Amino acid sequence: MPTAIAVTSADLVLPAPDRHTPPAVVLHPPGQLDLAGALAETSALLERHGHLVAVVPPWLPTATVQRLHTVRSILETDRIALLDIDLPPLATALLVRQLRQLSVCDFSPGVIASAARLLSHYIYAGALLGSVAKLDRVAVGLKAHARSWSPTAQFAVLAHPTPHLAKLGGSGGGAHGGRGGGGRGGGAALPPGPEFATHLTFARGQLASDWVAAELAPAWRVQGVMENPLPADSPAWWATAKLVEFAAAIPDLSVLYQLVASVRREQCHWCGLELIGDRCGFCAAPLAAPPPAEDGGGRTASPFAGSASAGSPGPRH
């Protein structure tokens, strides 16, 4: 069985692009399943799939994140990867789908887990917003704050990979440009787009606008456009329900495979799994081993002892 790819919410599971892509596993939050049930659920997944890669967005409730770490600690296993990838909700769902696509390839679980950081750099994520008054994900100037009070105001915002914010003219149209977003119209510049082939996925909130599909998609020269339901956490992430969220990502499995396969593979010095990049996806140990540290008694202590955060290695067993 392929490595299991897990999320904590069903709305982060996008439709499979083909019949070979497996579904994602939806882990039940603490309010739906007690600790004993969560342990049984995770044990069954490990028994069936061998390894579990769970995407843990930073906007998750603290109780949910603590539950994931508690389960991993109690099971005393190094076969669970908790990936703290910081992307907007719709972009997170796209990344999860890419990991699902890669899970059926001949990559080891360690390579699949560490590939998440690599793939995230190739996702362009943003939103069309009716207000940026409370937005704290992207720098917002005083003029943009003031213009947010207008009931017809609309802003094109790119949060990843490079923050960009521009007020659109009229009712969401009037901004035109090439793939790189350099053109101007209506006094606004399009967000800079990807220089490689992508598909664009968008999801509507409480904002009536066709700008994403009608203007942004042609300007970015995407190969396809698909609409999906808005993730439940998107209004909170973008600080407004008046939005149309969008994300462009590489859809082709062969391209994703070549991208990951082209990176040199290393062996994690801590848990022994394969990795690409500079950090293990399972134990979060850096590629280069840090110098040993001495504790108060002059003994050499493990640099990973007592770690409990998603960005730090857990215990090796």
- For residues 75-92, give the mean pLDDT: 94
Supply the pLDDT for residue 97. 98
- CA dist 91 and 74 (Å) reads 31
Q: Tokens in use for 196?
A: 């490689």
- For the ranges 9-18, 198-207, 288-297, 307-316, the lowest mean pLDDT is seen at 307-316
Beta-carbon contacts of residue 102 (< 8 Å; ≥ 6 apart)? 112, 115, 253, 256, 257, 260
pLDDT tens string 138-155: 876 655 544 554 556 799
User: Hey, is 246 helix, strand or coil?
Assistant: strand
What pLDDT band is residue 20 in, cutting at 50, 70 and 90?
very high
Answer for the pair 195, 179: CB distance below 8 angstroms, yes or no. Answer: yes
pLDDT at residue 178 is higher than 60: no
Q: What is the pLDDT of residue 168?
A: 87
Indicate the residue type of 46.
Answer: L
pLDDT bracket for residue 299 (50, 70, 90): very low
pLDDT grade for 312, boundaries at 50, 70 and 90: very low
Q: Which residues contact 28 (CB under 8 A, 6 or more apart)?
A: 37, 38, 41
Per DSSP bridges, beta strands 300-301 and 293-294 are antiparallel
Share of the chain above pLDDT 90, in %: 69
Please spell the DSSP secondary structure of 81-98, one letter per residue: EEE-----HHHHHHHHHH
Q: Please indicate whether residue 174 or residue 223 has the higher confidence score (pLDDT).
A: 223
Give pTM, 2 decimals. 0.84
In the prediction, which pLDDT does 150 show? 57
pLDDT in tens, 95-141: 999 999 999 999 999 999 999 999 999 999 999 999 998 898 887 66
Dihedral (Cα; 280, 89, 71, 34), 10-degree rounding: -170
Who wins on pLDDT, 284 or 212? 212
Burial of residue 19 (CB within 10 Å: 0-12, 13-18, 19+) is exposed
Q: What is the pLDDT of residues 230-249, one digit of tens each?
A: 999 999 999 999 999 999 99
Query: For residue 285, what pLDDT band results from cuts at 50, 70 and 90?
Result: confident
Token pair listed for 149: 């009070």
| Alpha helices, H only, the chain | 35-49, 62-75, 89-102, 109-120, 142-147, 211, 217-220, 234-238, 253-261
For residues 190-210, average pLDDT: 94
Instruction: Check pLDDT > 80 for residue 185.
Output: no
Question: How would residue 170 be classed by pLDDT, with cut points 50, 70 and 90?
Answer: low
pLDDT band, very low/low/confident/very high, at 270 (cuts 50, 70, 90)? confident
Q: Report residue 29 as tokens.
A: 């939050």
- CB 206 within 8 Å of CB 234: no
For residue 47, the model assigns a pLDDT of 96
Assess contact for 202 and 234: CB atoms under 8 A. no
Q: Which of 293, 283, 290, 291 is nearest to 315 (CA)?
A: 283
- What's residue 141's pLDDT? 60
CA gyration radius, the chain? 21
Distance (Å, whole) CA 188 – CA 217: 16
- Per the model's pLDDT, the better-predicted residue between 142 and 59 turns out to be 59
